[in-house]
Amino acid sequence: MSDPIVSRLSELGKGAPELCDAAAIYGALIPVLREAELGALPLSMTPDEVRLKISHGRPVLADIELALDTQAVSGLLVKLALSLEKSARKSDRLPVEAGRIRLAVEGGLLDVAALLAHTAAGERGPIDSMAHDLKLDPALVLLLARNSLKPALRAWHRQLTAMTGEISWDRGDCPICGAVATLAEFQGNNQARRLRCGQCGADWQFSRMKCIYCGNDDHRTLGFLYPEGRHNSVRVEVCEVCHGYLKVITAFSPNSPEMLPVEDLATLHLDYIALEHGYSRHNNSQICRK
C-alpha cells in the first residue's frame, strides 16, 4: 500500500518544480520521523495544573524542564541528517551541510541538549551563534533540531489532549508548545475554523474574524486574498494593522500532525501571494500575549 504522505509529496514535486527541493527534504525526513523512538517521557503534570497554566495564558510546555531523553533525540537528529545526506542530489550543497552537522553531533562538538532547549523555547539567536561557531548552516541546524523534537512534542500533545480534552485558548500561538500556528483549517460540515500547530499537531478553536498575531478584530482592517481562479477551499487571511497573514485550508477531517508540514508546503503558492502583497508570517516575538 502506498503511503499517503509520500505520494502527496511526490505529486507536489511533479506539479511544482519550485517545491521539488522542499518536497525531497520532507520525503527524506518523514519516514525517519515515523519510525523514531520517541525519547519523550510522560509529563508529570495533573489535569488541574495543565488547566491552571492554560488559564494564565501560558503554553503548557513553557518554563518546565522537558522530560527528554537527549541521547535518543540526538540519535534521531543524526538519522535525519543521514537521510538528507543520502537522498539529496549529489550536486546539492545540502548533503554536504547535513553531513557536517551529523559529524558535529557525533563528535560531541554540537551541544545537542542546549540546542534542543533553545529550539523548544523558540530562541533563534543562540542557535545561530552555535551554528556559526562550528561553521554549520544555521537554517539546516534549526530544521533538523525542530524535526528531531517533533515526535516528543507530538507525544506530549497526545498525552495532554487525552488528559484535558478541549481547552479554551483564544490565541495564535500553540497552547501546548507555544509555536505560532502553521495554518488554519475549516473542519467538517460546520466548517469550524481551527488553528493547527505544525510542531506538536495541536488543534484549537480561534475566533473567525481575528488576527492571530495582534488580536485585531476590526473587520475593516482584516481581509482575504484568494489564489487565481478563486478556489473557495483555500485563502489567505491578512491584517492591515500588523501586516501578518495566515493560510486557511479546508479539511473535511483534521489533518494528522504528520500531514501538516506537507499541507504547509502544498500551499506555498499562498505564501507567494501574501508576500507579493507585502504581508509576512510573523514569529513568536511578534505575537501579542494579551
Positions in the binding site for Zn ion (CB under 5 A) = 174, 176-177, 179, 197, 199-200, 202, 211, 213-214, 216, 239, 241-242, 244
Cβ at position 222, least distance to Zn ion in Å: 8
Cβ at position 146, least distance to Zn ion in Å: 11
Whole-angstrom Cα distance, residue 175 to residue 170?
9
Cβ at position 254, least distance to Zn ion in Å: 14
Residue closer to Zn ion, measured from CB, 26 or 156: 156
CB environment 80-106: b (16+ within 10 A), e (fewer): bbbbbbebbeeeeebbebbebbbebbe
Cβ at position 169, least distance to Zn ion in Å: 11
Residue closer to Zn ion, measured from CB, 87 or 164: 164
Cβ at position 25, least distance to Zn ion in Å: 21
Residue closer to Zn ion, measured from CB, 149 or 239: 239
- Paired sense of beta strands 234-239 and 192-196, if any: unpaired
Whole-angstrom Cα distance, residue 146 to residue 101?
14
Whole-angstrom Cα distance, residue 63 to residue 57?
13
For 165: left if phi > 0, alpha if psi spans -120 to 50, otherwise beta; the answer is: left
* Cβ-based neighbours of 34, under 8 Å, separated by 6 or more: 258
Whole-angstrom Cα distance, residue 46 to residue 99?
42
| Dihedral sign of CA atoms 260, 265, 270, 271 in order | positive
Cβ at position 33, least distance to Zn ion in Å: 15
Residue closer to Zn ion, measured from CB, 50 or 177: 177
Residue closer to Zn ion, measured from CB, 19 or 200: 200
Q: CA torsion 127→100→198→92, rounded to 10°?
A: 130
The residue to which cell 498525552 is assigned: 159
Residue closer to Zn ion, measured from CB, 74 or 199: 199
